[in-house]
A and B are shown apart, each in its own frame.
Chain A
């Protein structure tokens, strides 16, 4: 990539990227604006994908809301993402958990990682 573009991208990166992995149940702290007020909203769900790198890195969080699957894609380095809190470590053997979309109820769960959990 071009050195100038690279430099601009580097400036945007967060120094501390919150640590989480695919399959983890996370609480994403997102700042939202309502009029001129800013507040932090939570989005809790399972991380089903993480793609891209550096400034283009995104992660997808899936949750069930009122019986409907809701997925949100967040940029890892966005200043609006204040924190990503890991509630539960997931034990999965896929990098992308798109198969969860086709499952419902008890089948749509991710096993908890008990060993080696940080």
Chain B
């Protein structure tokens, strides 16, 4: 298992060696600095704690500042700190810097991010309900219709699709192919779309199912 914290830059398209146009999302991964190491012996599980981005030291608590200072952060502190769960105890130690070069082109990754928030939405937009008829005496154009049965079962089943908050939840896109790795500025060009708005943080991990 390997992974990095990154920032979604945006989308564009590039041409591959066959001249085909491929839609890609540009993700800036790293440099990520290891801020802590979790081992099975001491913590009961294996993980790497990674730091990414920059933040002014005055804007974080002293506890965070001291914690990351041990990993070599002096001028600034990381904007994001996340743990990456591993199957085995990590080889890296605190202070190591990881970059885009841990990935290769044509590798598959899972990308986790927080999707764009769409606010409180009705069932037509949120769940692609058909709604009622617009003409011929419709009367219930964008409403959900019946939500259940009668006296039997006498309740609404849990998980019933109804209006509510749409988006702004964590989601993972699986099995996305890395088209290109640009080590010089830690960029990954990943085929297809990635959850979230441009500039938001994402976690790029090696694909679980490939």
- Name A residues whose Cβ lies closer than 8 Å to a Cβ of B: 1-2, 4-5, 8-9, 12, 31, 33, 55, 75, 77-80
Residues of B contacting A79 with CB < 8 Å? Answer: 15, 19
| Inter-subunit contact B19/A55 (CB<8 Å) | no
Q: How far is the CA of A103 from the CA of B18 in the complex (A)?
A: 37
A-B pairs under 8 A by CB, number: 35
Chain B at the A interface: SS class: strand
Q: List 6 A-B contacts (CB under 8 A).
A: A2-B198, A4-B9, A9-B12, A12-B15, A31-B19, A77-B15
Query: Which 10 residue pairs spanning A and B have beta carbons closest together?
Result: A80-B19, A79-B19, A5-B10, A5-B12, A4-B9, A2-B10, A79-B15, A9-B12, A2-B9, A8-B12
Residues of B contacting A75 with CB < 8 Å? Answer: 21
- Name B residues whose Cβ lies closer than 8 Å to a Cβ of A: 9-15, 18-21, 26, 28, 185, 187, 189, 198
Chain A at the B interface: SS class: mixed
Residue A4 contacts which of B13, B21, B185 (CB distance < 8 angstroms)? B185
Q: How far is the CA of A80 from the CA of B18 in the complex (A)?
A: 8
Q: A32 — nearest CB in chain B belongs to which residue?
A: B19
Task: Say how far A37's CB is from chain B's closest CB, in angstroms.
Answer: 13
Residues of A contacting B15 with CB < 8 Å? Answer: 12, 77-79
| Inter-subunit contact A55/B18 (CB<8 Å) | no
Task: Say how far B101's CB is from chain A's closest CB, in angstroms.
Answer: 17
Q: How far is the CA of A12 from the CA of B198 in the complex (A)?
A: 22
Extra inter-chain contacts (6) besides given A8-B14, A78-B19, CB under 8 Å: A2-B198, A4-B26, A5-B11, A5-B26, A8-B26, A12-B14
Residues of A contacting B21 with CB < 8 Å? Answer: 75, 78
Task: Say how far B184's CB is from chain A's closest CB, in angstroms.
Answer: 11
Residues of B contacting A4 with CB < 8 Å? Answer: 9-10, 26, 28, 185, 187
Q: How far is the CA of A2 from the CA of B7 in the complex (A)?
A: 13
Q: How far is the CA of A12 from the CA of B189 in the complex (A)?
A: 14
Q: How far is the CA of A31 from the CA of B28 in the complex (A)?
A: 34
Residues of A contacting B189 with CB < 8 Å? Answer: 8
Q: How far is the CA of A78 from the CA of B19 in the complex (A)?
A: 7
Task: Say how far A108's CB is from chain B's closest CB, in angstroms.
Answer: 30
Q: B11 — nearest CB in chain A belongs to which residue?
A: A5
Residues of B contacting A5 with CB < 8 Å? Answer: 9-12, 26
Q: A56 — nearest CB in chain B belongs to which residue?
A: B13
Task: Say how far A28's CB is from chain B's closest CB, in angstroms.
Answer: 14
